[in-house]
Structure 1
Amino acid sequence: MRFCAMALAGFCLILSVFFAYSPTYAQISAQKGKISMWKDSDLTHSPDQAYQYALSGKFATLKTGNYNIGFTTAAYWLLLEQPAYPDSLLLVLGNAHLNDIRFYEIVAEKPVLKYQTGDHYQFSKRPVPDPFFIFPLAPAPEPGVVTQYLIRIDKHNESLQLRVDLMTIPEFYTQLAKKNLINGVLSGMVLLLVIYGSFLFLTVKDPLYLFYVGYLLATCLWLLADQGYGYQYLWPDFPYFASRSRPVFNCLMNITALHFMQVFIEQNTEKRVFKIIKALKWTFLSLALLFLLPLSTLVYGKSVYFLLLLLLFLNVMSTFLMLWSVSERIKAGYKQAWFYLASIFPLLFFGILEVLVHAGVSKMPMAFLAGFGIQTALIIQTIILTFGLAYRFNSYRLDREQLLLAVNREQQEMTSRILESQETERRKISDQLHDDIGTTLSIANWQVNAVLSDEEALTEKAKMNLEKAAEALQMVSAKIRRLGHNLSPWAIQKYGLNKAVTDLAYQINVSEQLALEYAIFGFESCGHYPLSFLNEVYRIIQELVNNILKHAGARHAYLELIEHEDHISIIVEDNGKGIDDSLSMRSSGIGLENILGKIAHFHGQMEIKRKSEHGTIVVIRIPLP
């Protein structure tokens, strides 16, 4: 729930940034300059020819800075006419993926090459280190003089969107700060989701979360490539990869998305759609390798148009197969599929807009959508999927808890059945000792005493032997009675725990082996407690006292038994030689193992301490049933 709240807060932050950065592209200010454009369909015109066309009026004036051309096979020339302006200006081409840009300054009515840059050149060739293409403009030498620039933009066989603006340096840095803020928010959200997915994988060890992290990383690489930061920071010296990075990472993103989707919704591998998706993943991989083939710029330029159309078709097919797969799982009653269905819609909405833009059918209505539409859709999708993963993780945790509770209940029931069975067997043995063996011994003792009563018939030696036999019979009879009492303390069932413990203390004191003081509070009425519980409590006390007799070497001991509202407490203290604290809770040689087992069965606690002077104190707390 905490993570869901954090994700929701992050989503609200994205919306706030969206509204903070939502100006439409304004008209180019006539005070800053005038921009016109001409289409070079056959890609053969020189700068001089293009400039002559500009002078002859073939260039069309751009009324706005946002111009969507779509897929094109032509190059485009821009003519910038800059009047005298009090501040230094920058020409901003707001597209990070222009292949070849040649910037000419008109000097004495002749185009002079000043900058040559683009994705087909190293990043260091850019006049200003920025993902967009920024060109500083020299101020007019004197009022009334118009400085002219000619710019050739070549992105043939690809989709071209031109966002042109003239900005002062403060205006540029203001726009740059807004753009960096949005990129920071989006990148931060992706980073948080990667950390969360990694945490879930390390916690649960479920490969699903690793596939999710893989999808996020592929998405992050595509975002870096799409925004131009990948070329600026990751591969600035590899123009070969700069123009191929977006389609390659798009293929990788689709592969990881499809695989994650299949695992997320637990798709049946026997379904036809599963096999189609498997083939589609291999197709994406093959297409990525095709984009990476070491082709010359000329050959790549001729084939990229068809490769991009194929990639567009595969993206549409991927979305359709996702909807098909998710719909099947929803019909089958799989609740988690709803999360994936919800995550597809924002990507589908922004994806359709992006396709229409690249096709030249429409233009984005707001600057934010034009620059960050797909990125925002991907972030929204990953947030929804993260909710789904959190739901899955919570379901997994609840299932584990229920399983553990069921196992614990089963163990408790099994232990109770074992204890009941043991108690039954003990009672049977105790009854047999009392009824059969005890009775037989009593008869034997009575017969011996009967013989002893006839003194005239016995010799002195026979009489002495019979007296020893009678004593032995009485001793055996007493031991059998004690054994029967230990096996099944009949006094508990007849008189209650209070009386049984009191009798135990009396017998110990009578033996003169140990002076045992005792205090019992409660247990006047024990009918509402299970007999097995009372028997085990009695045996715990009995075992503790036996340990003192056998091992402590004590002369005095104290026993306290208290019945509280929700638990009982047992305190046993002696003045013997004490016990090593390091061995007290793990030694099995002094009879503690049985005591610990009984206490654990009732979810109780035991603490054993060696007293500072001498002796040992044992404190036990057992919840009442």
Structure 2
Amino acid sequence: MACQIELQKDGSFTFPYVSEGCLALFGIPPDDLQNDASCFLRLIHPEDIPALLDTLKKSAQTLCFWNWEGRITLPGGESKWISLGATPQSTASGLPRWEGIILNTTQSKLGELEVKRVQQQLLELSSHIQDAKEQERLRIAREVHDEIGSLLTAMRMDLSWLIQRLPKDNAKLTEKARTIEELVNRAITSASHLAHRLRPGFLDCFGIIAAIEIEAQEFSKRSGISCTIVKSQENIELPEAYSITLFRVCQEALNNILKHAQAKHVQIEIVKGTDHLELIISDDGVGFSEATRNKPRSFGLRGVQERVAHLGGTVKIASTLGKGTQIAIFVPLVEETPQQALFGDNTI
């Protein structure tokens, strides 16, 4: 629908011209709208009227393009999304007159809302899958540590008892027993490492700072890359969901540095403010381009973004070829309710 809209001295507005499309769009004849502009306001959803008037005021004061989108309800009860776009012109009275069009954007807006709804559902599904994976990792880690670890330890003790009682003159038998003992020791070490990779026990026991420090030490041992920890305080208490998310993000970042960065030094900074927490991981490696970051199968950084988004946080990634990479995580902290403090995320 094409139209002219003219501002009046009392702050109201009129429609000097309205095209024939008014009837199809608003369900009212053009003459009715020209004679009484208030019928246009009566169609608009109450929640969208303030935005209409604010954009009108801004356009009138600055003579900038007037752009507004909102909902209307027709006399028959049908709802629509409309978009208004108009260019202001000065008149002899000094008040602006706009010339523009009003379009029915219902289909595109509903499609946009549906996309947002699906995106939110996918985010919630991804979050649920991550939570389920962490719970399964915790369960398996406990079984490896408590059951398999205990069985292997018992085997080692029995082997030690048996070796002490083997005939001294049977060197081959003793050597074989020692070989089995070494295999059991290696199995115990492997089980311990597996349990640690699945769920680091010191994260639950000592908190996020200690967990990141130990992970950084292990990273330096494996890679030979020096790692510095900068922290705002010695101990930061966080809800379990926050701790495991930040720890997994740190693990993923260090893994990416080890595989791709060719770095010589890494710095991990963790700072807790009054209402937020920042985790910044920087390296002095080769960096990467925007095209590399947006590769279709670049799941690592996307996984980081999904994990952080679940907590309402943001991820900023800055990288320059030849100058390294910085990943900055910003997570808002929500004060726990008394029930959450007692029972965590489990409801009763």
Quickly name the TM-score band, shorter chain normalised.
0.5 to 0.7
Correspondence 1:517 to 2:228: yes
1:388 deviates by 2.4
In the alignment, the residues of structure 2 paired with residue 591 and residue 13 of structure 1 have an alpha-carbon distance, to the nearest angstrom, of 55
Among 182, 201, 204, the alignment partner of 1:493 is 204
In the alignment, the residues of structure 2 paired with residue 211 and residue 551 of structure 1 have an alpha-carbon distance, to the nearest angstrom, of 57
Are residues 579 and 446 of structure 1, via their aligned partners in 2, closer, same or farther at CA, if it must alter by over 3 Å? farther
Are residues 561 and 443 of structure 1, via their aligned partners in 2, closer, same or farther at CA, if it must alter by over 3 Å? same
Q: Which residue of 2 aligns with 1:25?
A: none
In the alignment, the residues of structure 2 paired with residue 460 and residue 443 of structure 1 have an alpha-carbon distance, to the nearest angstrom, of 24
**1:540 maps to amino acid:** V
Among 17, 28, 34, the alignment partner of 1:190 is 17
Correspondence 1:568 to 2:277: yes
* The structure with more strand, counted as a fraction of residues: 2
Contact 2:313/2:330 (8 A) holds in 1: yes
Are residues 458 and 412 of structure 1, via their aligned partners in 2, closer, same or farther at CA, if it must alter by over 3 Å? farther
**1:215 maps to amino acid:** P
Are residues 587 and 445 of structure 1, via their aligned partners in 2, closer, same or farther at CA, if it must alter by over 3 Å? farther
In the alignment, the residues of structure 1 paired with residue 273 and residue 322 of structure 2 have an alpha-carbon distance, to the nearest angstrom, of 30
1:435 deviates by 1.0
1:436 deviates by 0.9
Q: TM-score, normalised by structure 1?
A: 0.38
Q: Which residue of 2 aligns with 1:440?
A: 151
Match of 1:190, SS state, is strand
1:512 deviates by 5.5
Contact 2:286/2:321 (8 A) holds in 1: no
How many residues align structurally? 272
Correspondence 1:385 to 2:39: yes
Contact 1:561/1:568 (8 A) holds in 2: yes
Contact 1:489/1:535 (8 A) holds in 2: no
Q: Which residue of 1 aligns with 2:241?
A: 532
Are residues 11 and 379 of structure 1, via their aligned partners in 2, closer, same or farther at CA, if it must alter by over 3 Å? farther
In the alignment, the residues of structure 2 paired with residue 378 and residue 571 of structure 1 have an alpha-carbon distance, to the nearest angstrom, of 58
1:588 deviates by 3.4
Q: Which residue of 1 aligns with 2:195?
A: 484
Structure 1, unaligned runs of 5 or more: 1-5, 15-185, 199-208, 220-376
- Deviations 1:362-417 (CA, angstroms, capped at 9, x unpaired): xxxxxxxxxxxxxxx76234x132112323744667x9899999988877766655
Correspondence 1:547 to 2:256: yes
* The structure with more helix, counted as a fraction of residues: 1
Match of 1:560, SS state, is strand
1:594 deviates by 2.0
**1:9 maps to amino acid:** Q
In the alignment, the residues of structure 1 paired with residue 266 and residue 304 of structure 2 have an alpha-carbon distance, to the nearest angstrom, of 19
Contact 2:126/2:306 (8 A) holds in 1: no
- Deviations 1:58-101 (CA, angstroms, capped at 9, x unpaired): xxxxxxxxxxxxxxxxxxxxxxxxxxxxxxxxxxxxxxxxxxxx
1:614 deviates by 4.1
Structure 1 residues 47-446: aligned runs within 5 Å: 189-191=16-18, 194=19, 210-212=24-26, 215-216=29-30, 219=31, 379-381=34-36, 383-391=37-45, 393-394=70-71, 417-446=128-157
1:432 deviates by 0.7
1:538 deviates by 0.6
Contact 1:523/1:563 (8 A) holds in 2: no
1:13 deviates by 8.2
Contact 1:605/1:620 (8 A) holds in 2: yes
**1:607 maps to amino acid:** K
Are residues 423 and 461 of structure 1, via their aligned partners in 2, closer, same or farther at CA, if it must alter by over 3 Å? same
1:539 deviates by 0.7
Structure 2, unaligned runs of 5 or more: 47-69, 73-78, 82-108, 335-348
Contact 1:577/1:614 (8 A) holds in 2: yes
Are residues 386 and 7 of structure 1, via their aligned partners in 2, closer, same or farther at CA, if it must alter by over 3 Å? farther
In the alignment, the residues of structure 2 paired with residue 557 and residue 378 of structure 1 have an alpha-carbon distance, to the nearest angstrom, of 67
Are residues 624 and 7 of structure 1, via their aligned partners in 2, closer, same or farther at CA, if it must alter by over 3 Å? farther
Are residues 12 and 545 of structure 1, via their aligned partners in 2, closer, same or farther at CA, if it must alter by over 3 Å? closer
Match of 2:161, SS state, is helix
Match of 1:571, SS state, is strand
Q: Which residue of 2 aligns with 1:9?
A: 8
Among 618, 621, 625, the alignment partner of 2:327 is 618
**1:594 maps to amino acid:** G
Contact 2:262/2:286 (8 A) holds in 1: yes
Match of 1:579, SS state, is coil
- Deviations 1:564-604 (CA, angstroms, capped at 9, x unpaired): 22322222222333323322244634732322221222233
Root-mean-square deviation (Å): 3.9
- Deviations 1:408-439 (CA, angstroms, capped at 9, x unpaired): 88777666554443333222111111111111
**1:387 maps to amino acid:** L
In the alignment, the residues of structure 2 paired with residue 592 and residue 466 of structure 1 have an alpha-carbon distance, to the nearest angstrom, of 48
Q: Which residue of 1 aligns with 2:308?
A: 599
1:540 deviates by 0.6
Contact 1:553/1:577 (8 A) holds in 2: yes
Contact 1:611/1:617 (8 A) holds in 2: no
Are residues 13 and 604 of structure 1, via their aligned partners in 2, closer, same or farther at CA, if it must alter by over 3 Å? closer
1:531 deviates by 0.6
Match of 2:290, SS state, is coil
Are residues 379 and 615 of structure 1, via their aligned partners in 2, closer, same or farther at CA, if it must alter by over 3 Å? closer
In the alignment, the residues of structure 1 paired with residue 325 and residue 135 of structure 2 have an alpha-carbon distance, to the nearest angstrom, of 34
In the alignment, the residues of structure 1 paired with residue 262 and residue 290 of structure 2 have an alpha-carbon distance, to the nearest angstrom, of 17
In the alignment, the residues of structure 1 paired with residue 152 and residue 312 of structure 2 have an alpha-carbon distance, to the nearest angstrom, of 43
**2:29 maps to amino acid:** Y
Provide the identity percentage: 21
Are residues 417 and 606 of structure 1, via their aligned partners in 2, closer, same or farther at CA, if it must alter by over 3 Å? closer
Q: TM-score, normalised by structure 2?
A: 0.63
| Bigger Rg over Cα | 1
In the alignment, the residues of structure 2 paired with residue 566 and residue 468 of structure 1 have an alpha-carbon distance, to the nearest angstrom, of 56
Contact 1:547/1:590 (8 A) holds in 2: no
In the alignment, the residues of structure 1 paired with residue 310 and residue 294 of structure 2 have an alpha-carbon distance, to the nearest angstrom, of 16
Match of 1:583, SS state, is helix
Contact 1:11/1:380 (8 A) holds in 2: no
